[in-house]
Amino acid sequence: MDTNGRFGEAEEAAMRRALALAATDGVPLGPNPRVGCVLLGAAGDLLAEGYHRGAGTPHAEADALAQVDGRAPGATAVVTLEPCNHTGRTGPCARALLDAGVRRVVIAQRDTNPVATGGVDTLLAAGVEVESGLLVDEARALNQVWTFAVEHGRPFVTWKFATTLDGRSAAADGTSRWVSSLAARRDTHELRARCDTMLVGTNTVAVDNPLLTVRDAEDRPLPRQPLRVVMGERSLDPAHRVFGPEAETLHLHTRDPGAALTELFARDRQHVFLEGGPTLAAAFVRAGLVDEVVAYVAPMLLGAGRPAVGDLGIPTISKALHLDVTDVTVLEPAKPGDDTDVRITMRRA
């Protein structure tokens, strides 16, 4: 039992199981959170379990209740996120739990989404015992990006760039292919696949003509492709590869990072993978809109060339933007003779 005596051992075990269910591989990313539910009998025995499999599918509570024909009198529902209180593609989970006869609901994380919140109030008003906060840190970590987007009203932004040891993203003659190794490029595709949006500037499209899709180790496109977003006021030739049929593409005619993120959030986008050049990256950093930085550092020196990021308006070392390193990984070369790049992941301090 926890230090406050609010949760039993069976409930904590059930919550860990619910978190594991919510993290099941293959669940599509966004716009909905990952949620798991375990139903316990009066003696703490397992009645049913379920999880949400993506937008338009039954929510975790409904998935679990379906296994007991919608009836669980006297049961305890252990859920990783507050049951929703609204009717969307599916009905409100709070009402489903009431109709099933559940007497107690244990929640990890409260839902701050104004559209879905209110489930706890509905349950309490009907006389159901409700406790929240069990393994809340684990639940927030599971839905880190979704939680950030809901609480901040904008997508979480990961800025990825590749650089030489001396901070160059391209040589003096403009050549940049390839600053990063094959292993780094494959690793980048894995990171892209975890996001719902990839964002570049119009200059990157005009100069590099990227396809901007997610591909596997054999360079084959994955079934699910993030939204490709081009940001900038410049008109672009529709023949550029980014406008091809491989994935959906959106051109945001703005130079304002805040306006771009507002538009993307309105489109249910929660995680932006920023892959633009130094000018676009600098604009997002100056605006305070970069939440995570992923840098691939190649063991090479150029001595001159395009910097990895543009002017940040930082005049002195005391004003430097400090980042917290959360991970350092040395990437194994993908082929003999390839560089051994280092991936450094950082968060704003």
CB 168 within 8 A of CB 304: yes
Return the percentage of the chain with pLDDT > 90, whole number: 84
CB 272 within 8 A of CB 155: yes
Question: Of residues 61, 82, 275, 292, which has the active-site annotation?
Answer: 61
Closest Cα to residue 38, out of 91, 79, 7?
Answer: 79
pTM of the model: 0.89
Cα 317 to the chain's mean position, in Å?
32
Residue given tokens 């929510």 in the structure block? 59
Reply yes or no on whether 61 is catalytic: yes
Fold: same for 9-146 and 153-348: no
For 165, residues 6+ apart whose C-beta sits below 8 A from its C-beta are 297, 298, 299, 300, 301
What residue ranges do the domains of the chain occupy?
Answer: 9-146, 153-348
Tell me the fold of 153-348: Dihydrofolate Reductase, subunit A (3.40.430)
Sort strands 76-81 and 104-109 into parallel, antiparallel or unpaired: parallel
CB 93 within 8 A of CB 81: no
Band (pLDDT 50/70/90 cuts) for residue 3 is very low
Between 114-118, 235-239, 325-329, 340-344, the lowest mean confidence (pLDDT) is in: 114-118
CB 79 within 8 A of CB 110: no
CB 249 within 8 A of CB 229: yes
Question: What is the dotted CATH code of the domain comprising 9-146?
Answer: 3.40.140.10
Q: Is the pLDDT of residue 87 over 80?
A: no
pLDDT tens-digit series, residues 108-129: 999 988 776 789 999 999 999 9
- Tell me how far apart the terminal alpha carbons of the chain are, to the nearest angstrom: 35
